[in-house]
Amino acid sequence: MSRLSALKYVANNKRSVGTMLLAFAISFMTIYLIYSILICTVISDKVITEELPRYTTYLDMSDKSLGVHREDYESSDDYNEALRQKREELCTKLKTIDGVDDAYYTQVLMAKYQAIMGMIMYEFPLVELDKVEPYMEHLDAELVKGRLPEGDGEIVVDSVLMKNQKYKIGDWYYEDSYGQTFTIVGVMDAPYPTCIGTPMAYTNSGWYTVILNDADHAYVEELLKEIGMELKPEDDFYDKSTYEEAMNEISGIMDGVNMAIMGVVVIFTAFSVFIAYISLMRNRISEYCLYASIGYSRSDIYGMMIREMLIIIGGGIVLGSGLALLGSCLLKVCAMEPLGLIGYIWYGDQFLKIIAAFVLVIGILQIPILVTMSKIKTIDAIED
């Protein structure tokens, strides 16, 4: 006796099979594209959080950490002068460390990098004209368009950030935040999307000791230990540890969102297909009884059911994979690259996760199959 064919039902019930196959395909594509959007944010932000502290760290030590106490000075001028001297001493000590090219206390502005989901903000320094080129050399950055700053309030922006924020040379830099104060005069290629500029009076996002370090000296706490100082809770700083913490938070949030969305889509798909399978099994009871009556065993009938299910889900995975890769390619070309974001087309780990989720659906669909199996009887048994 030949094996029961699973393809016959598929061929003779194209509409119902096609509907279930399409449901799996759309679910696969949806999960994958949402992941592509989420991981694009993580990958793009990681360039900043990993590369920025390899070149520059930021430190704002409190007056107490510097050994200056307001009550020890009769006037504000004396107090401020004492602070200035302490900060100069700090910079001088930092520059003695092998691995620190320079250190200076200066104003900073914020750069904003917009991902498809969320935004990351980080500092860059405003320096005097004679420090612009040394800073770019430290970054291994190269001017590719326009010119370097020649006066106050002029900014050179990395080419990726120009694209991300839709800037062009001559635009005001973040007019919404800083008004018509800083002008973009040049474009550079740097290891990460950053800027360098000159100050304009006292429009800024704070004052920091900017440390031009190498990759082996990216932790402020370790730098201070080398000069016999230590961080205190009231000190403000941005270094490798700060950005590692930020990246872990971003990755954790995106992973959580991805798992939640995957769970919702898989549950919805499983529920929808579960209901469809109950109806399908109910309508085919007489067919299964006929197979049992002509000599096919329960294991033969069960095997046919499983093969039918695998054809439907396997076809959904194949179709969904094609749609997912096409959609991911369109996302990369039409949304990510124009924004200066980093995205890929193929994410093998996510494919495996989705397939694993669909295997779970196969397990859930065993319920209507096993219920149906319990109702299968031969024609003689039905007549009795």
304-326 tens-digit pLDDT = 889 988 999 999 999 999 999 99
pLDDT at 1 (0 to 100): 58
The model's pLDDT over 253-263, given as tens digits with 9 standing for 90+, comes to: 989 999 999 89
- Percent of the chain scoring above 70 in pLDDT: 98
What is the pTM assigned to this prediction? 0.83
Mean model confidence pLDDT for the chain: 92
Band the pLDDT of 293: cuts 50, 70, 90.
Answer: confident
pLDDT at 152 (0 to 100): 97
pLDDT at 379 (0 to 100): 58
Measured N-to-C along each axis, helices 240-283 and 366-374 cross at an angle, to the nearest 10 degrees, of 20
- pLDDT beyond 80 at 376: yes
Q: Which residue has tokens 């992973």?
A: 255
- The helix/strand/coil state of 353 is helix
Contact indicator for 87, 209 with CB cutoff of 8 Å: yes
The model's pLDDT over 150-195, given as tens digits with 9 standing for 90+, comes to: 999 999 999 999 999 999 999 999 999 999 999 999 999 999 999 9
Token reading at 266: 């898989």
- pLDDT beyond 70 at 383: no
pLDDT at 284 (0 to 100): 85
Report the pLDDT averaged over residues 218-235.
94
Token reading at 313: 């889900």
